[in-house]
Amino acid sequence: MRVVLYAKTSVLGVLTLCLIPFFPCASPASAHCNSIPAGESFWVRLIDPVASYSSKPGSHIRAVLTQSPTCDSVPVFPLGIEVEGRVLSVSKVGLGFVHDVARLEIQFDQLITEQGIVTFVAQVVEVDNARENVRRGFIQGVRSTNTPQGRITSGLIHLPSINPYGDLALIVYRAVSPLPEPEIYFPPGTDLRLQLSAPLEVSEQPELTRPSFQLDEIERGEIESVLQHVPERTTTTSGQAADLVNVLLIGSQNQVEKAFAAAGWLPSDRNSYHAFLKEFGAFLNFSNYPKMPVSRQLLNGRAPDSSWQKSLNSYSKREHLRVWRQPAFILGQQVYLGAYTRETGAALSIRYHKFIHHIDPDLDQGVNMLVRDLTFSGCVESVNLLPRPDFPRVLLNSTGDTMRTNGDLTVVQVRDCDKRPSAYGLGNAIPVHPHSKIARYFRNRVLLYKSDLIRGNSIYSAFDVLRMAVCWHFRRNQSAFSDEIDTSSDLARGNGIAAPIESISKDK
């Protein structure tokens, strides 16, 4: 039996990476190819914390590899090896006199393998679930005065006829209004995506054993029997088609809960008035709500039995999985179906009259990230794929966001494991901001004064509105163009199935 790797997605490559620790490596042999081209991405997880307030240029930083760069679509390095780098440059906010936005540049350039040190050239292109943006390798902090309430207050100053603030009220508001923390801080366990800036020579690296993800006939038959009476998509309470059922978990409830806990995922709170206030506070303060509730979705008319999520420091970005327990067993073990999505932004929707989250359209890459986290915790027995070739490749969710997938159902069998202290959680604590509350209060007043002076005028307000309109128009056209290309490519391939570029033999 053979498993086909398609050109449209790297799911098998990522899953191969995740399972490499559970299979013995082959004897050293020639690598899959001679070099990895520039532009290839991979993920690392911080061992040491980094902060714009206290990190210095030249500071040494360690991380572990959680997703290897691939060579001919096959991972080259085993996950868990150490990656070393340093802080190249840093701009802290401090007391706010010079900078009101923090900036950080980190460079990783060494992989510590059993064969020796492998040097590479790469830059950080993404911080997973972070409020900070990355531009040309520089991590840009948030402007703490750019909160929704701050922008509204600054805008009302120029509209005297409807401005509810008198001069005295504005002075008092400015004196007591809190601000989000402007400094950048990434704790141990933060995931960073790196992109090679130059080709990486890998001809001397040993070839890794490549496991199969083919289901045997018994497992496949039992899974298909479970899926016969379950829809492929969830629905909203009003009956609209919502998310895709793309994950199947096998194991006891205790095993599933321990696996997510060990991976650093948290259960979601139930929707309540108290939860709404915490969520609204996180939105206003550029912070996160680690156990923020998820919107209500149904599978066969049932609400999820549990939901799990992972976030960092942003209200608008997180990964979450809704889980439904099924009245069925596979190989004598309990079965759960899940719908995974990765949220990448939040906005107030005029159409839906509420705050909504936008999702990453690449569902398969998101599922890869979930499997990576679970496997890295040591709680996964096996990972398999169930192809669904007739499934649509491009869909829309209930709020109009595009979802793209190759249709595979990822089957994860969990096993007993303990929540172990992770190696990446042992980094030394470093100062995140000024220790003194008085200093932080003074800094906030300086930032507010600078904001009123520089941005509190009608010229800047008009420029800001124009900038937002241009950015919205650009994103809208880019999204439409991307969807048009993807749809055309799917039609050209015939039912969205790409021609195979490589086959992986079953060697388990």
DSSP secondary structure, 73-130, as one string:
TEE-S-TT-EEEEEEEEEE--TTSSS-SS-EEEEEEEEEEETTEEEE--EEEEEETT-
Are 188 and 221 in the same domain?
no
Whether residue 318 lies inside any domain: the answer is yes
Backbone angles phi, psi at 368, to 5 degrees: -55, -40
Are 85 and 223 in the same domain?
no
Are 339 and 319 in the same domain?
yes
**Token output for 453:** 């002076």
Instruction: Please say whether the dihedral angle defined by the alpha carbons of residues 33, 412, 419 and 209, taken in this order, is positive or negative.
Output: negative
Are 243 and 197 in the same domain?
no
Closest CA to 88 of 110, 109, 57: 57
Are 328 and 237 in the same domain?
yes
pLDDT given for residue 5 in this prediction:
31
Are 320 and 193 in the same domain?
no
Single residue among 400, 422, 444 that ends a domain in this structure: 422
Are 78 and 54 in the same domain?
yes
Q: From CA 332, how far away is CA 167, in angstroms rounded? A: 71
Contact (CB, 8 A) for 322 and 338: yes
Are 231 and 367 in the same domain?
yes
The residues pairing with 200 across neighbouring beta strands, listed in sequence order, are 36
pLDDT given for residue 280 in this prediction:
85
Single residue among 381, 398, 422 that ends a domain in this structure: 422
Contact (CB, 8 A) for 199 and 124: no
Q: Which amino acid does the sequence have at 412?
A: V
**Token output for 169:** 């009220």
Contact (CB, 8 A) for 102 and 89: no
Single residue among 369, 401, 422 that ends a domain in this structure: 422
Whether residue 36 lies inside any domain: the answer is yes
Task: Note down the domain range covering 92.
Answer: 25-144+179-208
Contact (CB, 8 A) for 411 and 223: yes
Are 119 and 237 in the same domain?
no
pTM for the structure as a whole: 0.80
Whether residue 162 lies inside any domain: the answer is no
> Which whole-number Å values give the CA distances from 350 to 186, 353, 355, 356, 399, in the listed order?
34, 5, 9, 10, 12
**Token output for 303:** 């609400």
Whether residue 99 lies inside any domain: the answer is yes
Q: How many domains does the chain have?
A: 2
pLDDT tens, N- to C-terminus, the chain (508 residues): 333 333 333 444 444 444 444 333 333 333 457 889 999 999 999 999 999 999 999 999 999 999 988 887 788 898 889 999 999 999 999 998 999 899 999 999 999 988 889 999 999 999 999 999 999 999 999 988 888 777 666 655 555 555 555 556 666 666 677 788 999 999 999 999 999 999 998 888 887 776 667 777 888 888 888 898 899 999 998 889 999 999 999 999 999 999 999 999 999 999 888 998 898 888 888 889 999 999 899 999 999 999 999 999 998 899 999 999 999 888 889 999 999 999 988 766 656 556 677 888 999 999 999 999 998 888 999 999 999 888 889 988 888 888 999 989 999 999 988 765 444 445 557 899 999 999 998 998 888 888 877 766 666 667 666 776 776 677 666 555 444 434 443 433 333 322 222 222 333 3
Are 290 and 348 in the same domain?
yes
Are 249 and 377 in the same domain?
yes
Whether residue 267 lies inside any domain: the answer is yes
Whether residue 433 lies inside any domain: the answer is no
Which CATH number is 79's domain given? 2.40.128.260
pLDDT given for residue 371 in this prediction:
93
> Which whole-number Å values give the CA distances from 407 to 6, 253, 307, 365, 496, in the listed order?
12, 26, 22, 12, 10
DSSP 311: -
DSSP 209: P
**3-state SS assignment for residue 275:** helix
Those residues whose C-beta lies under 8 Å from the C-beta of residue 8, and which sit 6 or more positions away, are 406, 489, 496, 498
The half-sphere exposure of 433 on its side-chain side, counting CA atoms within 13 A, is 19
Whether residue 19 lies inside any domain: the answer is no
Whether residue 278 lies inside any domain: the answer is yes
Are 348 and 391 in the same domain?
yes
